[in-house]
Amino acid sequence: MEPQRTPVDQPKSLQVADDLRLQIERGDLAPGDALPTIADLSARWGYSVNVVRDAFELLKAQGLVSGGRGRPAKVRVPLRRIVRSSDRHQEEKDLVLLSEEERRGPGAAETLQLQFTATYEEIRADVALAEAFGIDEGAKLLQRIYETTDPATRQRQSWSVSYLPHDLISANPALLDSANEPWPGGTQHQLHTVGVEVVRVVDEVAATMPTTVDLKLWGMEKGVPLLKVRRISFDETGRVVEISDADYPADRTELRFTIPLAKW
């Protein structure tokens, strides 16, 4: 589709922003290319430097430009995208019956030399979690927060929070101790140790704009949303056995869902 101008009566800042956006979308300005300086654009258009600054902010909000405020403004370079596929649920299940040595293969944290932390806390189910699990409000849950960070940049690479009904896993005290993380084979193997088999997983995806804290933690540019993914795991009786919430910056994440369809 041919790039188009914004179909409204344009204020001055939007005129400048649209002109630059069209150059980016047409490839006249490639990722990593420097944009004209504020002074140059101000002289070219005959507009004030404040108008041009506002244009740059519009471009940043669209995720097209990075830099500014003391750094040269450039066409934003797309980050390497990490694929999060629904196939991983079956892959994790396939690990359950393997030996510990086979389950203990290197994960992303080891492969990419990231710093991994797991924080466990016993909490009480609030109204929303009680409804999601189908349990009483105030029932005991094990909350587990997982995070990986890049030691070099101190930026977050992954983050999720998982909830397990305490009564479901208390038969195996090892499941209540964060010192056993990372657990070889993950949550499905943990549940297997207490006789629970996951037979269905539902992924719910939404998006939100990041807070200023999120922008800092993830090293995100303005204008990039956060994908919020809730994973709900069910056993063979239809009982919810785990709920996990994970955040993924949209500029470096591809969510891929494989959906087998029954034959006629």
C-alpha to C-alpha distances, 171 to 175, 178, 182, 184, 190, nearest whole angstrom: 9, 16, 20, 19, 11
**One domain, residues 113 and 56:** no
Two tokens, residue 124: 């009480």
Any residues with CB less than 8 A from the CB of 263 and at least 6 apart, and which? none
Quick one: which of 197, 201, 196, 190 has its CA closest to 232? 201
DSSP assignment letter at 180: G
For the chain, what is the domain count? 2
Quick one: which of 191, 48, 33 has its CA closest to 15? 48
**One domain, residues 47 and 170:** no
**One domain, residues 149 and 30:** no
**One domain, residues 143 and 216:** yes
Asked whether the bond before 182 is cis by omega within 30 degrees of 0, the reply is yes
Here the CATH number for the domain that contains residue 220 is 3.40.1410.10
Task: Assign residue 80 a region (left: φ > 0; alpha: ψ between -120 and 50; beta: otherwise).
Answer: beta
198-208 and 253-256 beta bridge pairing: unpaired
**One domain, residues 47 and 140:** no
In a domain, 264, yes or no: no
**One domain, residues 119 and 210:** yes
In a domain, 5, yes or no: no
**One domain, residues 173 and 123:** yes
Any residues with CB less than 8 A from the CB of 79 and at least 6 apart, and which? 251, 252
Quick one: which of 259, 258, 257, 255 has its CA closest to 83? 255
pLDDT number for residue 68: 65
pLDDT number for residue 63: 82
What residues does 249 pair with on adjacent strands? 226
**One domain, residues 152 and 58:** no
DSSP-H helix ranges across the chain: 12-26, 38-45, 49-61, 87-95, 100-103, 108-111, 127-133, 166-169, 186-192, 212-218
Here the CATH number for the domain that contains residue 51 is 1.10.10.10
Tens of pLDDT, residue by residue over 97-106, are 999 888 887 5
Choose the final residue of a domain: 46, 75, 104.
75
List per-block mean pLDDT (blocks of 10 residues) for the chain, which spans 264 residues.
64 91 92 91 92 90 78 83 90 91 69 86 98 98 96 92 98 97 95 97 95 92 91 97 97 90 86
In a domain, 154, yes or no: yes
SS3 5: coil
**One domain, residues 153 and 31:** no
Predicted TM-score (pTM) of the model is: 0.81
Choose the final residue of a domain: 75, 106, 127.
75
Choose the final residue of a domain: 75, 96, 118.
75
pLDDT number for residue 175: 98
Quick one: which of 229, 120, 100 has its CA closest to 164? 120
Q: Which domain holds residue 25?
A: 12-75
- CA terminus-to-terminus distance, the chain: 37
In a domain, 34, yes or no: yes
In a domain, 262, yes or no: no
In a domain, 27, yes or no: yes
